[in-house]
C-alpha cells in the first residue's frame, strides 16, 4: 500500500499517458493505413523511419507513454484480483523497465541510431 | 385471481441460505414491498426484512429484485416480474444478518471514513452564511443532496465487489456535497480521506450506481468531481 500522494500521482500519470496514447495510436494507425497502400516491405519502413528526427521524437513519446500507462493499469487489475504490495510493485516496475528497454531498442535499430 | 411465484432468500448467512418459493396473490398496483409484507404476515411470520416509511423517503427497504438492487416500496411488481416470477434477495456487497436483512454498518462507517460530516466554524451568535442558489457549488450540492442512504448504489457497484476497502458511491457522493459546501472548513482532510486506491481514484466509471439510484442522483458525476478536486489539490501540494 503506497501513500495517498503516490496513489494520486500514479492515477494522474495514467490519465496523462492515456491522453498521449490516444493521439499516438491514432497517428500510428493512420500511418500504417497510409504506408501499406502499395504493399508493405521492410525496406519501405526503414527508409521512412531511418534518421528521421520527427519519427524518433514521436516514437520515443509513444514508448514512454506505454511504459507509464501499462504497468499502472496492470497494478489496478492485479489489485482487484487481490494482490498488492512491494513484490507486485517491483514486478510492475520491471515490466515498465522492460517496455522502455525493448521499445527504445527497436526504435534505435530502426532509426539507425544504434 | 392470478398468482405470483415469489422466490425469497432465506437463511442466517449468505453462504448458508437458500431460495424458498411462495405463492402470493397478484393485485393491481402491487409493490415488491407489498409482496414481501404479504409473505411475512400471511405465509411465514419468521421472514425478516426491513422497511419503515413505505413511500420512498427512509431508504430502508432496498433489496435485490430479480438480480437488480431496488427500493422495493416504490417498485411496482408489473415493472419487474418476468413471467409472474419474482426473485427477492438481500442487497449485495453487504453481510447478511438474516433473510433479507443486511448489516449496513460497513456502508455507513464508510460515510464517516469519507468525512461525510459537515464541519463549520461559525457559532449561533454569528450571521447565517449567504450561499447563492444559482452558484456552481450550490448547484453541485443540490444534484446529490437528496440521497436517502438506501444502499442500492453500494450494492450495485462492481468496484465494491472487487475491493472491499473502496468507499463506494454513496459515501463519495456525500463527500462531494461537502466539498462544494462553502461553509465547511475540513476540506483538506476530506480530500485526503477520499483520495487514492480505496477512494475516488478507484472508480471505473461503469455508471451502474447512477443507473440504479432511485433518487436519480449521479454518484458517478460526484466522483468525477472528486477526482478533479483531488488532482488539483495534489498539483498544488495540498494533499
User: Tens digits of per-residue pLDDT, A21-80?
Assistant: 999 999 999 988 988 887 888 888 888 788 788 989 999 999 999 999 999 999 999 999
Percent of chain B at pLDDT > 90 equals 95
* Residue carrying the nine cell digits 408489473: B78
In terms of CA atoms, which chain B residue is nearest residue A8?
Answer: B196
Element (H, E) at A106: helix A86-111
Residue A38 DSSP label: G
- Contact residues, chain B to chain A, C-beta under 8 Å: 159, 162-163, 192, 195-197, 201-202, 227, 230-231, 234, 239
A86 interface with B at CB cutoff 8 Å: no
B82 and B111 co-located in one domain:
no
In this prediction the ipTM stands at: 0.81
Q: How many CA atoms are closer than 13 Å to the CA of B21, on its beta-carbon side?
A: 6
* Separation of first and last alpha carbons in chain B: 63
CATH code at position A15:
1.20.1300
Residue B101 DSSP label: E
B220 and B112 co-located in one domain:
yes
* Residue carrying the nine cell digits 515498465: A96
CATH code at position B216:
1.10.1060.10
Domain C-terminal end among B70, B102, B134:
B102
Residues B214, B207: Cα–Cα separation, whole Å:
14
Measured in degrees and rounded to the nearest 5, phi and psi for residue B116 equal -80, 5
Domain count, chain B: 2
Mean pLDDT of chain B: 96
CATH code at position B37:
3.10.20.30
At residue B193 the predicted structure's pLDDT band, cuts being 50, 70 and 90, is very high
At residue A93 the predicted structure's pLDDT band, cuts being 50, 70 and 90, is very high
At residue A2 the predicted structure's pLDDT band, cuts being 50, 70 and 90, is low
| Residue that wins the pLDDT comparison between A84 and A111 | A84
Domain span including residue B78: 3-102
B23 and B40 co-located in one domain:
yes
Whether the per-residue pLDDT at B212 is higher than 60: the answer is: yes
Domain span including residue A106: 4-111
Domain count, chain A: 1
Residues B157, B212: Cα–Cα separation, whole Å:
10
B96 and B137 co-located in one domain:
no
Q: At B161, list the grid cell.
A: 465487489
Amino acid at each position: 500500500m503506497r501513500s495517498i500522494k503516490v496513489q494520486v500521482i500514479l492515477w494522474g500519470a495514467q490519465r496523462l499517458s492515456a491522453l498521449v496514447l490516444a493521439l499516438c495510436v491514432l497517428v500510428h494507425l493512420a500511418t500504417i493505413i497510409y504506408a501499406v497502400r502499395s504493399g508493405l516491405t521492410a525496406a519501405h519502413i526503414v527508409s521512412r523511419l531511418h534518421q528521421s528526427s520527427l519519427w524518433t521524437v514521436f516514437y520515443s513519446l509513444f514508448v514512454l507513454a506505454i511504459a507509464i500507462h501499462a504497468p499502472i493499469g496492470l497494478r489496478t487489475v492485479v489489485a482487484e484480483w487481490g494482490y498488492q504490495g512491494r513484490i507486485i510493485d517491483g514486478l510492475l516496475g520491471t515490466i515498465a523497465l522492460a517496455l522502455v528497454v525493448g521499445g527504445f531498442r527497436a526504435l534505435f535499430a530502426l532509426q539507425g541510431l544504434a | 385471481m392470478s398468482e405470483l411465484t415469489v422466490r425469497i432468500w432465506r437463511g442466517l448467512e449468505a453462504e448458508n441460505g437458500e431460495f424458498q418459493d411462495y405463492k402470493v396473490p397478484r393485485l393491481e398496483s402491487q409493490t415488491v414491498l407489498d409482496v414481501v409484507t404479504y409473505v411475512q404476515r400471511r405465509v411465514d411470520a419468521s421472514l425478516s426484512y426491513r422497511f419503515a416509511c413505505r413511500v420512498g423517503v427512509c431508504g430502508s427497504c432496498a433489496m435485490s429484485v430479480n438480480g437488480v438492487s431496488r427500493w422495493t416500496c416504490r417498485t411496482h411488481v408489473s415493472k419487474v416480474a418476468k413471467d409472474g416470477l419474482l426473485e427477492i434477495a438481500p442487497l449485495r456487497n453487504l453481510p447478511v444478518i438474516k433473510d433479507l436483512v443486511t448489516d449496513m454498518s460497513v456502508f455507513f462507517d464508510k460515510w464517516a471514513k469519507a468525512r461525510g460530516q459537515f464541519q463549520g466554524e461559525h457559532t449561533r451568535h454569528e450571521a447565517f452564511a449567504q450561499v447563492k442558489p444559482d452558484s456552481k457549488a450550490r448547484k453541485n450540492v443540490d444534484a446529490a443532496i437528496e440521497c436517502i442512504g438506501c444502499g442500492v448504489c453500494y450494492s450495485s457497484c462492481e468496484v465494491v465487489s472487487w475491493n472491499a476497502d473502496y468507499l463506494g458511491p454513496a459515501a463519495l457522493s456525500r463527500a462531494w456535497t461537502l466539498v462544494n459546501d462553502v461553509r465547511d472548513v475540513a476540506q483538506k482532510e476530506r480530500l485526503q480521506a477520499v483520495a487514492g486506491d480505496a477512494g475516488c481514484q478507484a472508480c471505473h466509471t461503469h455508471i451502474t450506481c447512477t443507473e440504479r439510484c432511485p433518487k436519480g442522483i449521479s454518484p458517478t458525476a460526484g466522483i468525477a468531481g472528486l477526482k478533479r478536486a483531488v488532482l488539483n489539490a495534489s498539483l498544488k501540494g495540498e494533499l
